Structure 1
Amino acid sequence: AGLALAVLNPASLLALDALSFVASAVAVRGIVRAMSKRREGQLPLRPRVIFADIAEGVRFLVRHPGVRTMTIVGSVQSFAGGGFVALMVVWCDRILHIGTSGVRFGLVWGAWGIGGLIAAVGLPRLLRRMPPAAITLYALPMSAVLGIVTALAPGWGLAALSLLVWGSAYVLVIVNSISYRQQVTPEELLGRVNTAGRMLSWGVGWTLGSIVGGLLGNQYGVRTAMVVMGAFGFVAVAIAWTSPLRRIAAAHNAADDSADDSGHDPLHA
């Protein structure tokens, strides 16, 4: 979409975005069978039943140390990202002086998304080399540093490059968290736990970050606000490195070393 802004006007892109939702709805209509097993004794959907299901998902999320920590970290990072992205158009116009349309604006705006695509494609390879907890522990500091570096970029070229790399580290943390949650959550709870996690990260974290970023930008200026929002990434780093994630990563590595010594694959033992 960022690159398309160079040749299309925003109204056309919004129309294409709306059509993508229509296509998604048509695709969902094509699902003809249940995606999971029906729970025994499942009650008809009523508000009380829905809230009880949500509460069950939240309880699992809170009690599982890995899922809980990655959700908290994801929420803090979404807070930082929401505030940053809320100011990006103004940043491009007033700080980078590239306006809000054209090739340069499209490259800067699209760099973040391309970085996210790189992260999504590269995650499976990383997971073959290290556990999910370790990926989060090492990607978070990179994301925090790059958030501030991007805000301080003196020109649009360096800004686009920083956004590309930051987008990779930022989205890597998010996608890795979702992947881990899907691996460790029982199938019957997966939908509820995923919904709770996404609401906390995107619904709460991203929304609050957008509001706070806008308020800070209005009060202290765009660049200062973006640096402050980027610095919240270090809060996520502190939470992660003082959490059970270090123990979870160490236990996974110890299990791999033990499997290598015995000549057995722990996944197929």
Structure 2
Amino acid sequence: MDADFSRYLNARVLSGIGAVVAVVALPVLVYQLTGSAGWTSAVAAAEALPYLVFGLPAGALADRLDRRKMMVAMEFTVAAVLLSVPLAWLLDGLTAPHVVAAGFATQSTFVFSSAANFGALPALVGKENLTAAYSTLAGRTTAVELIVPGVTGLLVAVVSPAALLAVNALTAVGAVMLLRGITSSMATPRKVEGAGQLVADVREGLRFVWREPVIRLLTLVGATHSVASGAWMAVLVPFADQVLGVAPKGDLRLSALFTCWGLGAIIASRLLPRVTKRWGNARVALAGLPLSLLGGVLVLVSGHWLVLCATATCWGITGAVVVMNGIVYRQQVCPDELQSRVNTTARMVAWGLGQPLGAGLAGAVSVAAGDPRAGLGAGLAVLLAGVGWAWASPVLRRAA
């Protein structure tokens, strides 16, 4: 493995550790503070909303600025934001709005870091090595998603989730040191010539996404997939508490529930290169979407925590295949100079729109029905519409 690629991978792993700790700790923390499915959903929505707000300018900037410097700046920023939560907790002044604001601010920095990463990886390894490199990266980062949520779930049973967020300072410093050690270029910086130039760059990225039929369909249908996953993230903690009897504090089974999606994702990262090589991206998308819907339905009807662990793992496999397949295809067909713009534009629509919509929908329906299962069911209904759309459209069938 190339030394620079190894440094890049390890930096992403460290950054991922801090991010996953925050993803687990913030919903648990706000549920402990409020006992409300609505506030828990608000955290999930706040963590997803920044892609919708900042995705387009972040992509345009990442195609012009030094991507390494951009990632370094974001690591320091996210550490400072998340350190405010344990400090407020120590001073006995932590509130639910503070937690929601921290989630929004943290993910805002992630949007800009993600935009830089979308362009950095193809520049670092070359398009001919992109599928293998992305699968390796996905394997490492999903290993983090497999291990860290479980460990964090164990820790929140005995330690305040607010205190755990201090780990982000350590992961940020480690990631920065690794990024600064990369000698290969990950960008060709170009001068930013005012807001007009950025607007023109944004339009260019939008045009590419809209004119490429497979990318357009995968992006729009991907938004329905994100609605379902956003709904699940929003109701996971209330679902565990109210349906499975797994308390948000002091119950070690919570760690197992947080681990399942990551286990599925790491299996998917091993499967993706094989299935796309054999069947191609279009066929994988056509098969993956209904299988992901089935996984979500099985999660919905699971009434025991062990059954849910199995069904959530299956959903994690199929869901991750759908997501990674779309990302790899975009990066393979996209020109180098548009990588950050095109990928952040597509992610803005597919994830930035779908995830907060799913979280908000699930929260509203859960509160109205008094049952988190109703919220997850609403998200899956949207995914059902997306699956029907993908199969009814001739675009993927022609590509297959």
**Length-normalised TM-score, structure 2:** 0.58
Give the Å deviation of 1:100. 1.6
Distance 2:356 2:153 in 1: 28
Shift of the 13–135 alpha-carbon distance from structure 1 to 2, 3 Å rule, reads farther
Match of 1:35 among 179, 186, 199: 186
SS in 1 for 2:166: helix
Distance 2:181 2:310 in 1: 40
2:171 counterpart of 1:23: no
Asked whether the equivalents of residues 73 and 239 of structure 1 are also in contact (C-alpha less than 8 Å), the reply is yes
Give the Å deviation of 1:62. 0.4
Alignment RMSD: 1.8
Shift of the 136–13 alpha-carbon distance from structure 1 to 2, 3 Å rule, reads farther
SS in 2 for 1:143: helix
Match in the other structure for 1:216: 365
2:152 counterpart of 1:5: yes
SS in 2 for 1:7: helix
Asked whether the equivalents of residues 144 and 232 of structure 1 are also in contact (C-alpha less than 8 Å), the reply is no
Asked whether the equivalents of residues 114 and 167 of structure 1 are also in contact (C-alpha less than 8 Å), the reply is yes
**Quick one: which amino acid aligns to residue 15 of structure 1?**
A
Distance 1:25 1:235 in 2: 42
Asked whether the equivalents of residues 2 and 109 of structure 1 are also in contact (C-alpha less than 8 Å), the reply is yes
Shift of the 34–50 alpha-carbon distance from structure 1 to 2, 3 Å rule, reads farther
Matches within 5 A, 1:224-263: 224-243=374-393, 244-249=395-400
Asked whether the equivalents of residues 362 and 374 of structure 2 are also in contact (C-alpha less than 8 Å), the reply is no
Matches within 5 A, 1:69-88: 69-88=217-236
**Quick one: which amino acid aligns to residue 61 of structure 1?**
V
Distance 2:194 2:308 in 1: 49
**Quick one: which amino acid aligns to residue 208 of structure 2?**
F
Cα deviation, 1:105-138, whole Å, max 9, x if unaligned, reads 1111110111112112221111221101110100
**How many residues were matched structurally?**
246
Give the Å deviation of 1:238. 1.2
**Quick one: which amino acid aligns to residue 254 of structure 2?**
F
Match of 1:93 among 241, 250, 253: 241
Shift of the 184–222 alpha-carbon distance from structure 1 to 2, 3 Å rule, reads same
Distance 2:200 2:262 in 1: 36
SS in 2 for 1:110: helix
Cα deviation, 1:189-222, whole Å, max 9, x if unaligned, reads 1121011111112222111211111111111121
**Larger-gyration structure (1/2):** 1
Match of 1:59 among 192, 207, 216: 207
Give the Å deviation of 1:18. 4.8
Give the Å deviation of 1:44. 2.8
Shift of the 18–239 alpha-carbon distance from structure 1 to 2, 3 Å rule, reads farther
Distance 2:214 2:388 in 1: 15
Asked whether the equivalents of residues 43 and 49 of structure 1 are also in contact (C-alpha less than 8 Å), the reply is no
Asked whether the equivalents of residues 292 and 319 of structure 2 are also in contact (C-alpha less than 8 Å), the reply is yes
Shift of the 240–161 alpha-carbon distance from structure 1 to 2, 3 Å rule, reads same
Asked whether the equivalents of residues 3 and 107 of structure 1 are also in contact (C-alpha less than 8 Å), the reply is yes
Asked whether the equivalents of residues 240 and 247 of structure 2 are also in contact (C-alpha less than 8 Å), the reply is yes
**Quick one: which amino acid aligns to residue 338 of structure 2?**
L
Give the Å deviation of 1:57. 0.6
Asked whether the equivalents of residues 93 and 100 of structure 1 are also in contact (C-alpha less than 8 Å), the reply is yes
Which structure has more helix as a fraction of its residues? 2
Match in the other structure for 1:140: 289
Distance 1:32 1:47 in 2: 31
Match in the other structure for 1:44: 192
Distance 2:267 2:237 in 1: 23
Shift of the 235–18 alpha-carbon distance from structure 1 to 2, 3 Å rule, reads farther
**Quick one: which amino acid aligns to residue 190 of structure 1?**
Q
Give the Å deviation of 1:226. 1.1
Asked whether the equivalents of residues 217 and 224 of structure 1 are also in contact (C-alpha less than 8 Å), the reply is yes
Q: Which moved more, 1:153-162 or 1:14-23?
A: 14-23
SS in 1 for 2:297: helix
Match in the other structure for 2:108: none
Match in the other structure for 1:14: 165
Asked whether the equivalents of residues 5 and 103 of structure 1 are also in contact (C-alpha less than 8 Å), the reply is no
Distance 2:287 2:263 in 1: 21
**Quick one: which amino acid aligns to residue 81 of structure 1?**
S
SS in 2 for 1:236: helix
